[in-house]
């Protein structure tokens, strides 16, 4: 891939669009959420995981970054120190750790059933209040930070030429 492709990273655009939807989104993770799968889950507002779920961002091992929102969203969610442990140190996060760190909100034997049930509960709440609350909670997710991911990724692609 060309460095210019990294600047136009489609997966980051898609995940950012998902993150900014005016509705509440819930990811259900049954097994491994690796690389883009983890970044997709991070773009959702809430995450329900199965007991054997695990999360991993292995990109730095192959010379790229988790640039589809992974560095920005994971650091914002768990703090820079834990994000560094995952991104720089290669740590795989199991379901219990994901719950303790706030990556996961619930662990369920069937995360898809639990996510659907939770969605039905949320749907009973006031939609305007939910939308406004989500806007305020997400207000500090900066376009500049997401752009920084793409620029760093583009530099890595350019280096490979």
Give the catalytic positions in this structure.
39, 59
| Whole-number Å distance between alpha carbons of 120 and 109 | 18
- Interior/surface letters 74-113, b for 16+ CB within 10 angstroms, e for the rest: bbbebeeebbeebbeeeeebbbebbbebebbbbbbeebee
| Distance separating alpha carbons of residues 130 and 51, to the nearest angstrom | 29
């Amino acid at each position: 891939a060309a460095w210019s492709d990294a600047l136009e990273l489609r997966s980051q655009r898609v995940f950012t669009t998902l993150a900014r939807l005016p509705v509440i989104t819930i990811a259900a993770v049954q097994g491994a959420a690796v690389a883009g799968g983890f970044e997709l889950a991070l773009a959702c507002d809430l995450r329900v995981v199965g007991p054997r779920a695990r999360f991993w961002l292995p990109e730095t091992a192959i010379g790229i970054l988790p640039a589809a929102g992974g560095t920005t969203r994971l650091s914002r969610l768990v703090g820079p120190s834990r994000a560094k442990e995952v991104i720089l140190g290669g740590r795989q996060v199991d379901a219990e750790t994901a719950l303790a760190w706030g990556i996961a909100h619930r662990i369920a034997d069937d995360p898809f059933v639990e996510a659907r049930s939770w969605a039905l509960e949320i749907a009973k709440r006031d939609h305007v209040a939910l939308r406004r609350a989500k806007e305020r909670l997400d207000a500090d997710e900066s376009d500049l930070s997401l752009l920084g991911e793409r620029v760093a990724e583009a530099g890595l692609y350019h280096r490979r030429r």
